Structure 1
């Protein structure tokens, strides 16, 4: 038992939303560790992958067509797609990715001993405070029922925070069901990360926590730092970890919760 626990030699993974940012970092790292990477994205992929599949996560026909293009079984699935705004945000950030993952799990396309890892956000950290409503939403366990549940709630629930809370609740709620099939599921909650999505609205996305980082002497996370954690969670080295939302934020939230650092804005969200 050694470094081989971190290897993906001969393993196959699907990376949803792997064209840029954290998803691209996951795909490139996975391949560097010996893995075969299948990347799904609506955007063009600018680096070499083993298979690329076009998908519009807001469109069920497109998603089902993308799933049909996956040959063989998988050892890991990474849910890395994300947008910060726009009408289909709940579909891109959650419903579309859940549909892919559930379809693969229910059809036994993820090998026993395999794992799923998704990207949530520190924006979803208060999910337990909203658990009853999230469980009501998650009970709509297919595309159409979830879409129907959203009708009349677009103004209050079609947003980044709710979509990321849904990811955290889904991971916790489904971990036992997945484990019965021999598959683990976890998610990461990154703090501000230097990606194209964040740079598009840098003042808001990269400005959050800037005073804490200045005091700590660190910058925003890199996409590779988040990818490292995602790969660990899907490696054999993390075989005992399931159903967990892992903070990757340079200790910002833990410092605030424990009183080591004062951040009134963040405290109001906890």
Structure 2
């Protein structure tokens, strides 16, 4: 269902992004990769870009103008150990700027997939801060973090909560063109940032790991992203798929008094 399709994948040099690119190409897609680092695998095309640089994002949007891609996988992201301002910039502000800038370069019927996280659970309690981040630019992130008390301890959670909410918000934004947006929320995954993830989240992550039979792997996550980019997912709109070995189900069950 991906034969002949062109898919833009950010964060393509490692981890889930690299595995997604591999699986997309195996399914017949042409992959246009985006990363600040060179990918090891040969892709149809590659654009080097630093998402902390607003001008670099705008240049990338210009470079991809008219591509008419069939999908966009927003996988690039920073771990919880990154400075709060940089993390919010890359994981939320840059992702939104790039996505909105590329909508006109997507084909009708295209799919947008955002890589969120189990850390995005509880977004409903952060609506005020999420709304305050609407329209946020690179230049305004520092002041936003100060005003909204976004710190090293909560920046990763906030960025992923806001991303899940943004996915829900855009369930029908481009319905007249058949463009859909969904997200995938992994739990802890064996990637280069797993150590950073566990160090920052501390006791909560340790408890999660005790409950899980194992951490996820990029090969567990990439097929779900690939499915959401395929024609088989055309009736999914604004959906966030927990891909976490059952952790979201466990949290929901325990919080509601189920065993």
Q: Same fold (TM over 0.5)?
A: yes
- Are residue 51 (structure 1) and residue 45 (structure 2) matched? yes
CA deviations on 1:233-256 (whole Å, 9 max, x unpaired) are: 121111110111111111122123
Identify the residue that residue 184 of structure 1 maps to in structure 2.
180
Assess, with a 3 A threshold, how the Cα gap between structure 1 residues 53 and 152 changes in structure 2: closer, same or farther.
Answer: same
> Cα distance, 1:203 vs. partner?
5.1
> Cα distance, 1:204 vs. partner?
5.4
Is the 2:167–2:181 Cα contact (8 Å) retained in structure 1? yes
- Distance in 2, Cα, partners of 1:175 & 1:42: 29
Assess, with a 3 A threshold, how the Cα gap between structure 1 residues 29 and 261 changes in structure 2: closer, same or farther.
Answer: farther
| Structure 1 spans left out of the alignment, 5+ residues | 1-6, 263-270
Identify the residue that residue 9 of structure 2 maps to in structure 1.
15
The ranges of structure 1 where at least 4 consecutive aligned residues each deviate by more than 4 angstroms after the TM superposition are 200-206
> Cα distance, 1:199 vs. partner?
3.5
- Distance in 2, Cα, partners of 1:153 & 1:54: 33
1:251-270 equivalent positions in 2, closer than 5 A: 251-259=246-254
Q: TM-score, length-normalised on structure 1?
A: 0.84
Assess, with a 3 A threshold, how the Cα gap between structure 1 residues 157 and 178 changes in structure 2: closer, same or farther.
Answer: farther
- Distance in 2, Cα, partners of 1:151 & 1:212: 33
> Cα distance, 1:183 vs. partner?
0.4
Could you tell which deviates more after superposition, 145-154 or 74-83? Answer: 145-154
Identify the residue that residue 90 of structure 2 maps to in structure 1.
92
SS in 2 for 1:209: helix
Identify the residue that residue 3 of structure 1 maps to in structure 2.
none
SS in 2 for 1:156: coil
CA deviations on 1:42-77 (whole Å, 9 max, x unpaired) are: 112111111111111111111112222226210000
SS in 1 for 2:172: helix
- Distance in 2, Cα, partners of 1:146 & 1:115: 29
CA RMSD of aligned residues (A): 2.5
Identify the residue that residue 73 of structure 1 maps to in structure 2.
68
Q: 1:172 aligns with which of 151, 156, 168?
A: 168
SS in 1 for 2:98: helix
Is the 2:67–2:106 Cα contact (8 Å) retained in structure 1? no
